[in-house]
Amino acid sequence: MLVLLVAAALAPQGEGAAARPTHWAYVAPTRPTPPSPAVHPIDAFLEPRLRAAGLTPAPEADRATLLRRLSFDLIGLPPTPAELDAFLADTRSDAFERQVHRLLTSPHYGEHQATAWLDLARYADTGGFNFDQPRSMWKWRDQVIDSFNLDVPFDRFTVLQLAGDLLPEAGEEGRIASGFHRNTPFNDEGGVDADEARWERLLDRASTTATVWLGATLQCAQCHDHKYDPISQRDFFAMVAFFEPADEITLELPTAAQQQQREALRARVRELVASAAPAKEVTAAEKKAAGFAVDSTLVLAERPDVEAATTLRLRGAYDARGARVSAGVPAALGPPWPDHLPKNRLGLARWLTDPKHPLVARVHVNRLWASVFGAPLVASPEDFGTQCPPVDHPELLDWLATEFMRLGWSQKALLRTLVTSQAWRRSAAVDDEARERDPRNRWYARGPRFRLTAEQVRDSQLLTSGLLAPTLGGPPVFPLQADTRGLVPTNKADVRWKPSDGDGRHRRAIYTFWRRTQTFVQFGLFDAPSREQCTVVRQRTNTPLQALSALNDPASWAAASALGARMRAAAGDDRSRLAFGFRLCTSRLPQPAELDRLARALAAEPGPLQWAMLGNAMLNLDEALTR
């Protein structure tokens, strides 16, 4: 009997899954009513379970902590002393809500929110693999930033990312947005079969689409029916088929100046030909005109004469061809396919954003919740299938999903809802008894506390030291870092890192040149992914190498030196200058004992170097590196 039960549990759940019990995630959410209309809806769902667990909610965090937390969550930067002072002096009843509005409308909001999307999209400035050649994708990255700043509804954003080139009204915006699936690694090494390499990119596109929008491990069905979820091998290749008709092209986007210069070069060629100039001179001019580079980005372009169909591969092997499969979606993972939708990427995007879809809204609000609470409601945000851990707050998840759609798929509106809850505003302080009762903070009796992301560490250093160049958008830049040429000895790419001139080396982290085989050292140490594949959850580690980097890396030391100079230039005596620097790094004034210790260190060895060393120490305080 036990053998039969195990066999039944492990049996594929593809086409014969209809008789099985329906998994909660595959049923469209219905809107639950918050238990108490007198409190914030999120708190109404959380507090009864919190009390039942024998926990007492922590008090609201102090105002400085609230603004620091809010600023990191919405724009990825700490508040300035002037912003702190303005908030602390604001006695209006809606003072906090005004800060939420200010940050949601900041142009830096889009920069921070886009970072997580770049992880999902596997964005990089190189193609990956052994050659890892540079490529131009930054126009797509900038459009993602703009989309978040403009609060483009997530259903519209989804359509643009998956099929913007197929929208008749989208124009350049839609074509650039279709670059989402041009972020796949590109293998152009010698001896590689070009058709097989393209096939691998198609597989990646299908798997990434399922991960990002469905929270489904679709790739598990590449070689056989999914072992746990109702996804057959045929379902997997039916999803691959949506991407078969798409050509990979380069979209030129010259600036006015670039276009004028290119026309001048072409005119010069015509002039030389007309005047019967020597062939050598004409050839040189033609090469110069042909080699003139303009801004560009990689996009998809549909071939109308190609059917959205593919060939199933037996056991997933590229050269083991099976039956022909037309484009389609896993029946259990969403509503029935409407007859009016075309079987192409645009139809797929419309199917995903159907309000009756059970997964898409849930999957995205789960990621947004994790971005401000430190952990998701569904513990496996990349997998909403039957193997995902039980959800502690299922009614809250469904309320958030339906609320997201009710708000017109507005991410800003949903984030406003999250950060105005009392659960988000609670102090992170916790006593031993509460920690023992709820070590992972499953019931949200206290505020979340976690290490800043790699980008936030970098951006916080820049802002605090006064180095941050706030310009938005543009080609990738190269901050200071140690010489890394010897770290990847087998890589055939030129990995020399030439720091950008002037303010270029002090741009926000999202603009840093992203090499897949060798990420910016500080980012890699602080758990940023290589972006060789879709990344939903970054690991959060604490290692000695992080401390060594934050203390000694050239970029970190440049920030520490600038902070030291900024303190020295501040008004007042040395103690007030030290207090100023401490507040820049932590958003609070130091306690007398803390200030005494800093002052003693300065007195023992006064001078610019000591100011820089103290700046270095302040930037490495736990409070400075922790959200």
Give the span between the Cα atoms of 124 and 107, in whole angstroms: 22
Overall domain count for the chain: 2
* 530 phi/psi in degrees, rounded to 5: -75, -20
Please choose, from the candidates 236, 116, 235, 212, the residue with its C-alpha nearest in 3D space to the C-alpha of residue 158. Answer: 212
Within a domain: residue 411?
Answer: no
| DSSP E strand boundaries for 304-439 | 309-313, 321-326
Mean pLDDT of 135-164: 98
| DSSP E strand boundaries for 289-392 | 296-302, 309-313, 321-326
For residues 17 and 331, is the Cβ–Cβ distance under 8 A? no
For residues 354 and 335, is the Cβ–Cβ distance under 8 A? yes
Mean pLDDT of 582-599: 97
Within a domain: residue 367?
Answer: no
What tens digit of pLDDT does each residue of 547-569 get?
999 999 999 999 999 999 999 99
pLDDT higher than threshold 70 for residue 18: no
Long-range contacts formed by 380-385: CB under 8 A, 24+ apart = 381/215, 381/536, 381/537, 382/211, 382/215, 382/217, 382/536, 382/537, 383/215, 383/216, 383/217, 384/25, 384/214, 384/215, 384/216, 384/359, 385/23, 385/25, 385/215, 385/216, 385/217, 385/226, 385/228, 385/229
Within a domain: residue 428?
Answer: no
For residues 449 and 399, is the Cβ–Cβ distance under 8 A? no
The pLDDT of residue 8 is 37
Name, in order, each residue with C-beta under 8 angstroms of 328's C-beta and a sequence gap of 6 or more. 235, 238, 239, 241, 337, 343
**Percentage, residues of the chain above pLDDT 90:** 91
What tens digit of pLDDT does each residue of 449-466 get?
999 999 999 999 999 999
In the listed set 267, 294, 321, which residue is the last one of a domain according to the structure?
Answer: 294
The pLDDT of residue 190 is 82
The pLDDT of residue 4 is 33
For residues 561 and 599, is the Cβ–Cβ distance under 8 A? no
Higher pLDDT, 484 or 263: 263
Within a domain: residue 574?
Answer: yes
The pLDDT of residue 497 is 86
Assign 472 to helix, strand or coil.
coil
* Count of beta carbons in the 10 Å neighbourhood of residue 272: 18
Long-range contacts formed by 403-407: CB under 8 A, 24+ apart = 403/31, 403/41, 404/154, 404/361, 404/364, 404/365, 405/355, 405/361, 406/31
In the listed set 235, 267, 294, which residue is the last one of a domain according to the structure?
Answer: 294
For residues 201 and 242, is the Cβ–Cβ distance under 8 A? no
Per-residue DSSP letter, 246: E
Residues 222, 227, 229, CA angle at the centre, nearest 5°?
90
Within a domain: residue 275?
Answer: yes
Q: How confident is the model at residue 188 (pLDDT cuts 50, 70, 90)?
A: confident
For residues 143 and 200, is the Cβ–Cβ distance under 8 A? no
Within a domain: residue 506?
Answer: no
CB-count burial class (<10 Å; 0-12, 13-18, 19+) for 594: middle
In the listed set 243, 264, 294, which residue is the last one of a domain according to the structure?
Answer: 294
The pLDDT of residue 16 is 39
* Mean pLDDT for all residues in the chain: 93
Both tokens assigned to 597: 């210790």
The pLDDT of residue 21 is 53
Name, in order, each residue with C-beta under 8 angstroms of 231's C-beta and a sequence gap of 6 or more. 13, 14, 216, 218, 220, 221, 225, 330, 332, 333
The pLDDT of residue 491 is 58
Q: How confident is the model at residue 351 (pLDDT cuts 50, 70, 90)?
A: very high
Q: Which residues pair with 299 in a beta bridge?
A: 249
Name, in order, each residue with C-beta under 8 angstroms of 254's C-beta and a sequence gap of 6 or more. 262, 294, 295
The pLDDT of residue 482 is 77
Mean pLDDT of 260-277: 95
Mean pLDDT of 318-339: 96
What tens digit of pLDDT does each residue of 468-527 get?
999 999 999 999 987 665 555 555 666 778 899 999 999 999 999 999 998 999 999 999
Within a domain: residue 141?
Answer: no
Range of the structural domain that residue 287 is part of: 254-294
Within a domain: residue 511?
Answer: no
